């Protein structure tokens, strides 16, 4: 993350409204995720409230990077894939969502006498789970926009596979915002085609 905050003053002067709007949008989406249930697990039971200061850091770093791109390349208005990629990249670096669970002995991780692997996985990947759905929503990808010849089951299966691939990529791979942008551009074309 940036250690010099002087750049932010210039950013606010130049992009104040855009920064403000993105902060509102991301905070609303993060709190909607926080209040969500995923397969019977309430996110608010396993996570602290989203850290709003860190969400603002995501936005500032995103706008700073996009401003730098505009200064060196002929990009007057970045595409939604570019915005999404930089937001996703910085979200993963800053990680505004934190699990409440600090150890496996926490009783909420048990189902009877067995560990609940789904809850553990969700705790370990809160940021990846949130940002995957968010990135796809920014580029209008969902299981309903799959290829025409797919059955309903195949559409959902392909979408879940793509989501799983992106979540894995975000959690375990080294990547740049440009790599993430290329992934999103590819997802926007194939295997899911927007109708």
Q: What is the pLDDT of residues 114-154, one digit of tens each?
A: 656 677 777 788 999 999 888 888 877 654 443 433 344 44
Distance CA 31, CA 16 (A): 22
194 with 140: CB under 8 angstroms?
yes
Q: What is the pLDDT of residues 166-176, one digit of tens each?
A: 887 788 777 78
Q: Helix (H, G, I), strand (E, B), or coil: what is residue 99?
A: strand
Distance CA 140, CA 146 (A): 11
- pTM as predicted: 0.74
Distance CA 121, CA 105 (A): 15
Q: Which residues pair with 38 in a beta bridge?
A: 41
Q: What are phi and psi of 55, to 5 degrees?
A: -65, -40
């Amino acid at each position: 993350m940036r250690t010099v905050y002087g750049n932010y003053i210039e950013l606010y002067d130049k992009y104040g409204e855009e920064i403000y709007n993105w902060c509102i949008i991301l905070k609303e989406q993060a709190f909607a995720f926080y209040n969500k249930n995923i397969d019977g697990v309430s996110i608010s039971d396993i996570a602290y409230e989203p850290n709003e200061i860190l969400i603002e850091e995501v936005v500032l770093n995103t706008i700073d990077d996009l401003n730098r791109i505009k200064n060196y390349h002929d990009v007057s208005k970045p595409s939604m894939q570019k915005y999404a990629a930089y937001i996703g990249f910085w979200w993963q670096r800053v990680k505004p969502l934190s699990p409440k669970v600090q150890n496996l002995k926490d009783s909420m991780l048990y189902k009877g006498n067995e560990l609940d692997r789904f809850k553990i996985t969700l705790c370990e990947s809160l940021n990846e789970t949130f940002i995957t759905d968010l990135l796809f929503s920014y580029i209008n990808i969902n299981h309903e926009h799959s290829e025409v010849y797919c059955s309903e089951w195949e559409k959902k299966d392909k979408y879940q596979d793509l989501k799983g691939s992106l979540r894995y990529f975000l959690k375990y791979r080294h990547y740049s915002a440009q790599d993430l942008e290329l992934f999103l551009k590819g997802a926007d074309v194939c295997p899911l085609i927007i109708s």
